Amino acid sequence: MGIITRSIANNIVTGGKLDGTDGLSGVISNTNFNNASIANVTEFSSSLGDAIESVSTDPVSPSEGQLWYNNSIGVLKGYQLVAASWAAGGNLGTARYQSMGAGTQTAGLAIGGITGPGTGSATEEYDGSSWAGGGSLATARSTNFGAAGEQTSGLAFGGYDGSNNTGATEEYNGTSWTGGGTMGNARRSFIGCGLQTAGLGFAGFSTDNTNVTEEYDGASWTAGGNMSTSRRNLGGCGTQTAGLGFGGYSTTTLNSTEEYDGSAWTAGGNLNTGRWGVGGAGTQTAGLGFGGYIGPNTGATEEYNGSTWTSSTAMTTARRFLGGAGIQTAGLAFGGLTTGNSNATEEYSGAFLAVKKVTTS
């Protein structure tokens, strides 16, 4: 079996019992082990203390991995990590893809996109359980345009208006959209992030893939630092001074990541699964990438910590060209393209520590 050495008793005597006064060193026969329990050991020294603490109430601030027995209810408990998961949310009122998102998991925006045979202008607002109609865009747009901000202070810019690439910008007040400053580079298939008064748009497609970055101050757009790799249909998140761009398509599908500091882009850690048409949420140091296209559609989900991506629980519905919003620990994914337009919404909960009952399953 193995050698046990512990200062709890003198030696192991006939029958496998412990003869206890001082040190122990010996071999317990395999015959004294049955279903992970030790046979013929009648008692351990009280000086050892209890391996698992017996308490009448759960600890206020337990440590990860801590176990205890709650003697008031007769339950063994532990403080353990609960895995990340996706759960179904309320369906969009209008199925769509190539729409964009802004806001949070409990106060999200779905903006524009392809809602039928053509480009749409419909806006929907999410309250954490269901979608309701909001004000329509003045300029219908699709094909992965830029979006940023919050549900009551949103920003939509660029995209494809049904005929041409556009640089039109609109600002949302929670009810209606009004015109803002026009982008310097009309384009589609790019990404946006930040706030209504501090927006960021980067990469995309104009007459070819581009690496151009632009910054919005609430009134006008100015040039920022170019990305290292021209790409389209990428994912992104973050702020104007701490942006994150990942994946996308250049001449091939990309897994590379770039980080923006407000003036220049630098290389970050590669995605584990290269893809394009990917959704994004979160910040530069706590990013979330989900869905996209790798050959078939995928539901693969990854979390970014500012240097590396880690694979997490996959989405229930694999899709590309989906909208995203929220943060790494509370993300929102909606719409997209499966075999047709999707109205599915999923909510992401990052891994977290919680008090759980210890069971045998």
Same domain, yes or no: 43 and 145: no
Same domain, yes or no: 45 and 92: no
Into how many domains does the chain fold?
Answer: 2
- E strands, 9-84, where? 11-12, 18-19, 24-27, 33-34, 37-38, 53-55, 67-70, 75-82
Integer Cα distance of 156 and 146 in angstroms: 6
Q: pLDDT tens across 249-268, in order?
A: 999 999 999 999 999 999 99
Whether residue 356 lies inside any domain: the answer is no
Q: Please, which residues bridge with residue 239 across strands?
A: 242
> Which pTM does this prediction carry?
0.82
- How far from chain centre, in Å, is Cα 222? 30
Same domain, yes or no: 90 and 45: no
By three-state DSSP, how is residue 56 classified?
A: coil
Same domain, yes or no: 126 and 238: yes
Whether residue 77 lies inside any domain: the answer is no
Phi, psi of 99 (to 5 degrees): -90, 170
pLDDT of residue 109: 98
Integer Cα distance of 197 and 203 in angstroms: 20
Q: pLDDT tens across 61-94, in order?
A: 999 889 999 999 999 999 988 899 999 999 999 9
pLDDT of residue 8: 45
Mean pLDDT (whole number) for 19-35 = 52
Q: Which of 45-59, 148-162, 244-258 has the lowest mean pLDDT?
A: 45-59
| Average confidence score pLDDT of the chain | 90
Residue 137 predicted with pLDDT over 90: yes
Same domain, yes or no: 180 and 318: yes
- Contacts of residues 13-19 at CB distance under 8 Å and 24 or more positions apart, as own/partner, are 15/40, 16/40, 16/41, 17/41, 17/42, 18/42, 18/43, 18/44
Integer Cα distance of 359 and 76 in angstroms: 8
Looking at residue 332, its amino acid is L
Whether residue 359 lies inside any domain: the answer is no
Cα→Cα distances 230→18, 234, 342, Å: 72, 10, 29
Mean pLDDT (whole number) for 13-28 = 53
Model confidence at 26, pLDDT cuts 50, 70, 90, reads: low
pLDDT of residue 33: 46
Residue 182 predicted with pLDDT over 60: yes
User: Do 49 and 63 meet the contact criterion of CB atoms below 8 Å apart?
Assistant: no
Model confidence at 39, pLDDT cuts 50, 70, 90, reads: very low
User: Do 74 and 113 meet the contact criterion of CB atoms below 8 Å apart?
Assistant: no
pLDDT of residue 14: 56
Whether residue 43 lies inside any domain: the answer is yes
pLDDT of residue 9: 47
Same domain, yes or no: 138 and 224: yes
Nearest residue to 302 via CA among 286, 288, 282: 288
Model confidence at 17, pLDDT cuts 50, 70, 90, reads: low
Whether residue 66 lies inside any domain: the answer is no
Percent share of the chain, pLDDT over 90: 80
Same domain, yes or no: 151 and 24: no
pLDDT of residue 89: 98
Whether residue 10 lies inside any domain: the answer is yes
Q: pLDDT tens across 193-212, in order?
A: 999 999 999 999 999 999 99
Q: Which of 42-46, 193-197, 209-213, 342-346 has the lowest mean pLDDT?
A: 42-46
Integer Cα distance of 103 and 21 in angstroms: 67
pLDDT of residue 5: 47
CB atoms within 10 A of CB 263: 10
Residue 245 predicted with pLDDT over 50: yes
Q: State the sign of the Cα–Cα–Cα–Cα dihedral 256, 217, 140, 136.
A: positive
User: Do 153 and 113 meet the contact criterion of CB atoms below 8 Å apart?
Assistant: no
- Domain, as residue range, for 45: 1-49
Same domain, yes or no: 42 and 117: no
Whether residue 80 lies inside any domain: the answer is no
Whether residue 355 lies inside any domain: the answer is no
Residue 247 predicted with pLDDT over 70: yes
* CATH code, domain with 229: 2.120.10.80
Q: Which of 10-24, 225-239, 267-281 has the lowest mean pLDDT?
A: 10-24
Same domain, yes or no: 99 and 154: yes
- Both structure tokens of 137: 């865009």
Q: Please, which residues bridge with residue 326 across strands?
A: 331
Same domain, yes or no: 142 and 41: no
Through-space distance between the first and last CA atoms of the chain, rounded to whole angstroms: 27
Integer Cα distance of 162 and 311 in angstroms: 36
By three-state DSSP, how is residue 85 classified?
A: strand
Same domain, yes or no: 300 and 154: yes
Mean pLDDT (whole number) for 310-322 = 98
Same domain, yes or no: 29 and 150: no
